[in-house]
Structure 1
Amino acid sequence: MKRSFGARTIAYPLPVFVVGTYDSAGKPDAMVAAWGGICSSDPPSIAVSIRPSRYTYKNLMETMEFTISIPSTSYMAQADYFGIESGEKTDKFAACGLTPVRADHVNAPYVGEFPVILECRVIKTLDLGAHPQFIGQILDVKIDESALDPEGRPDLSKINPLIFDVTRSEYYTAGRVIGKAFSAGRKYKK
């Protein structure tokens, strides 16, 4: 039997995206957004939803460019701090001892120590309610060499990204490989 939780923002897994922007004075800022994910393959695009009360929202509306830095589990505390402190009066990078790196393709910083970086330019905004959505065209993806397999492909076990559980306010990590996509279900094809 299943228990109803009603209309709530529950989905699994939720990402831990650290959204990087510059403010009008050029100060790097970043915040955590769990409401997001890939939304188009052509053009390659990602969506993030951010409350208007957030400093990053103001920065995004001014620049229309951002990065997404995906932290590994070894940076859980720093990523959490990016989600609980406002960058309006605090230099979150300095407080955590992390490096803001100017992106190559957009006017936004990324977290130099995090293994996966997406550089994005806003191509559409949607007013959906409490969290307006920014759809960013992905202009470049950077992945640390140390997070690649011997064939040069990203290795999820080496990236070791944080996963967020909204109902328990806890962080998790990805598990082991259990099967091959686009193959495991072939036994049901007729």
Structure 2
Amino acid sequence: MKKNLGPKLLVYPTPIFVVSTYDKEGNANAMTVAWGGICSSSPPCVAISVRKATHTYDSLMEKKAFTINISSENYIKETDYFGMVSGKTEDKIAKAGLTPVKSEFVDAPYISEFPINVECKIIQVSELGSHTQFIGEVMNVKIDDTIQEKGNQPIIEQIKPLVFSPDNGNYYGIGEQIAKAFSIGKEIM
């Protein structure tokens, strides 16, 4: 038996993205975004949703570009901080002791210390209600050279990415691998 909970945001897990932009003065900014994810394989695209009241919203509209910086458990304090303070009032990246670097492919900075940086150009903007969704086509991905790869893909256990639980507002790490996708289901076929 199931019970109805009504319209709630109970999608698990929710990735944690640190979105970086330049504002119209060219200042680097970072914002923690939990409303986002992959939205197309070809072309490779990701979606993020932010409120109009944020400094990041204005920068996204101005520059039509952003980076998604995949944080790790090593940078949980900085990641949380980026979601607590506005870039209108302080240089969050400098205060966190991190390094913004100009992207090669888009007009946005990436954060050097984070293990993965995804450079995106905005190809679509949709007003959704409380948030505006920005779809970014992935122009390039950078990965820290200390992260090993298997089949041209980074090993997730070395990245230690963060996820968010929208029901309780807590951060979580990624657990152990339990099966290989597109293989375990063959047992049912």
Change (3 A) 1:10 1:22: same
Structure 2 counterparts to residues 1-190 of structure 1, below 5 A = 1-149=1-149, 152-189=152-189
Pairwise CA RMSD: 1.2
Corresponding letter in the other structure for 1:68: I
Q: Give 1:174 deviation, angstroms.
A: 0.5
Measure, in 1, the Cα distance between the counterparts of 2:44 and 2:151: 23
The Cα shift of 1:152 comes to 4.7
Match for 1:147: what amino acid?
I
Rounded to whole Å, the distance in 2 between the matches of 1:122 and 1:151 is 29
Moved more, 2-11 or 22-31: 2-11
Query: Displacement of 1:104 after TM fit?
Result: 0.8
Deviation at 1:142, TM superposition (A): 1.0
Give CA deviations for 1:156-180 in whole Å, capped at 9, x if unaligned. Answer: 0001101101111111000001111
**Aligned partners of 2:179, 2:26: CA distance in 1, in Å?**
45
Distance 1:63 1:40 in 2: 22
- Distance change >3 Å, CA 124–CA 150, structure 1 → 2: closer
- The one-letter amino acid of 2:137's match is Q
Q: How many residues align?
A: 189
Matched AA of 1:22: Y
CA–CA distance in structure 1, aligned partners of residues 27 and 153 of structure 2: 33
Please report how far the alpha carbon of residue 4 of structure 1 lies from its aligned counterpart in structure 2 after TM superposition.
3.1
**Given residue 103 of structure 2, which amino acid in structure 1 is its aligned partner?**
A
Q: After TM superposition, give the deviation of residue 3 of structure 1 in Å.
A: 4.3
Distance across 2 between alignment mates of 1:3 and 1:145: 48
> Residue 82 of structure 2 aligns to a residue in which SS?
helix
Supply the distance in 1 between the matched residues of 2:32 and 2:140 (Cα, whole angstroms): 20
- 1:65-97 alpha-carbon deviations (Å, 9 max, x no partner): 000001001100000000000001100011110
Residue 111 of structure 1 and its aligned partner are, at CA, apart by 1.0
In the TM superposition, residue 26 of structure 1 has moved relative to its aligned partner by 0.5
Please report how far the alpha carbon of residue 123 of structure 1 lies from its aligned counterpart in structure 2 after TM superposition. 0.4
TM-score (structure 1 length as normaliser)? 0.96
Q: Percent identity, aligned pairs only?
A: 47
Q: Specify the SS of the correspondent of 1:176.
A: coil
Of 130-139 and 146-155, more deviation after overlay is shown by 146-155
Determine helix, strand or coil for the equivalent of 1:186. Answer: helix
Letter in 2 for 1:110: Y
Q: How many angstroms apart in 1 are the aligned matches of 2:112 and 2:65?
A: 18
Distance 1:28 1:162 in 2: 22
